[in-house]
Structure 1
């Protein structure tokens, strides 16, 4: 950036910051920051303004590091990205307004100065958007992995009898996870009978049925038996209409009936005392 622009910004530093803070009041009234303590807003705005102007003295990499550190702290504190993108737009307007009234910039250089200021502010906006996007993608990926780990547990309910309750939509990625958890759980719990409960699966189409059949076949190959439970009337009708063959392994309408069947297959039964 031209030295004359940097000099102008530093010469009018306090004027720029104060005018920008006044503009930020309109943003605070429309964001979650309305409920934040005023001292917190004042501190963040001052720090943000100092950071923006401070990047003029830093090389590109140093400036990016400072912005990254500032963004990460705000992301973890719950500050919305829109507050800072709107704040940068306001900062841009304040600077451009100052340039049109400042006599230190030659008229022949005004357009070039405007363009440099646009590029400078845009680079800060782009980095903050990238930092926020990267942080949320990372957070979502962690949450996705955590949900996947919890979405297909194999639960031992009796000796040699385990249940895998399935809830939600089953796609190819999740079917792979189900298969892995199922086979590892059978070995770990020494299960002889596995109940796959699809009560919480909203739709059973050809693809879902194919994944279930594959899981049941894998269970058989490791020496256990699979019983499909939780088949609701509408699911049964869909399976029949699609012509899906589930005759290779037993099915039960409820988990209770499935457990009773599992006990019979392991030479046990429930009796009343």
Structure 2
């Protein structure tokens, strides 16, 4: 083991409590004297992992090597936990960088009679801590991206519900931009519901889709094709005048696909195809609060 690494190993094994106390004092000072219950536990885990890494590798270099895996594992858990809690990346790196001062102080005591060795050891341990801090930031960013991606998927699932309007009739109200990922999710969910309910007709309502361009039209056509391959049929509702003009100007061919201006019109057509006739019962007011009859 190198002299500098041996000094770090001795410092962490023989003066662990002192290093911990000084590290936690740095964290408390930097955090505005806030409670550090979780950080107290985390500091102990990190020091234990660093000591294991020094003993396994024999040096404080090559942070990406296998002997330093325990340190990376601890830092990865720490970063992921803080990302999930909404902490900033700066807080995560601050936690690691606060370890520099107590380690520097310990090395100064160890090499007080050898200034050249103290400078060399300080540089090595500073480089190691910098690598650790950078690793926490990278892991934090990756964890946040995973959280955001999962939340986006959950929002997509909530924004594209498949609703059973009537026996054999499903509806998918589309709201917002329709892209490839969302189209795939809609198709998977809708096709699964067609199988589960045995429905023969699906209404795709695009009233909430702000614009329809060539790409959106292609996504709609793919969805309709997939529905037909399952033995069902589809109606596209929500074709507003502006949408109709855009489709004509773009030369998009919707021939063979039934379209309606509103979801109500699409439902009326769907029930007609299913053999139902809807009539207003005698005595019903304009809002239909009377009894409903004439369903055959």
Query: Which one of 136, 154, 173 corresponds to residue 165 of structure 1?
Result: 173
CA contact (8 A) 1:27 1:83 kept: no
Mapping of residues 231-246 of structure 1, within 5 Å:
231-246=239-254
What's the C-alpha RMSD, in Å, of the aligned pairs? 3.3
Q: Which residue of the other structure, out of 169, 183, 194, is the alignment partner of 2:191?
A: 183
TM-score (norm 2): 0.72
- The answer as to whether partners of 1:4 and 1:104 remain within 8 angstroms in 2 is no
1:49 alignment counterpart: 43
Which deviates further from its counterpart, 248-257 or 73-82? 73-82
| 1:219 aligned residue | 227
What does residue range 71-220 of structure 1 map to in structure 2 within 5 Å? 71=79, 74=82, 79-96=87-104, 104=112, 106-220=114-228
**What is the CA distance between 1:103 and its match in structure 2?**
5.1
Q: For residues 202 and 145 of structure 1, what CA distance do their matches in structure 2 show?
A: 21
Aligned CA distance change for structure 1 residues 233 and 112 (closer, same or farther; 3 Å): farther
Shift of 1:72: 5.3
1:58 aligned counterpart, secondary structure: helix
CA contact (8 A) 2:104 2:122 kept: yes
Q: Kindly state the Cα deviation for residue 114 of structure 1 after the two structures are TM-superposed.
A: 2.5
Aligned partners of 1:192, 1:70: CA distance in 2, in Å? 51
Give the Cα–Cα distance (whole angstroms) in 1 for the partners of residues 94 and 259 of structure 2: 58
Unaligned runs of 5+ in 2: 54-67, 282-296
**What TM-score results when the alignment is normalised by the length of structure 1?**
0.77
Q: Work out the CA distance in 1 between the residues paired with 2:46 and 2:208.
A: 51
Name which structure has the greater RCO, CA cutoff 8 Å, separation 6+.
Answer: 1
Q: CA deviation at 1:150?
A: 4.2
Partner of 2:258: 250
Q: 2:290 — aligned with what?
A: none
Gaps of 5+ in 1: none
Q: Does 1:24 align with 2:41?
A: no
Counting helix residues as a fraction of each chain, which structure ranks higher? Answer: 1
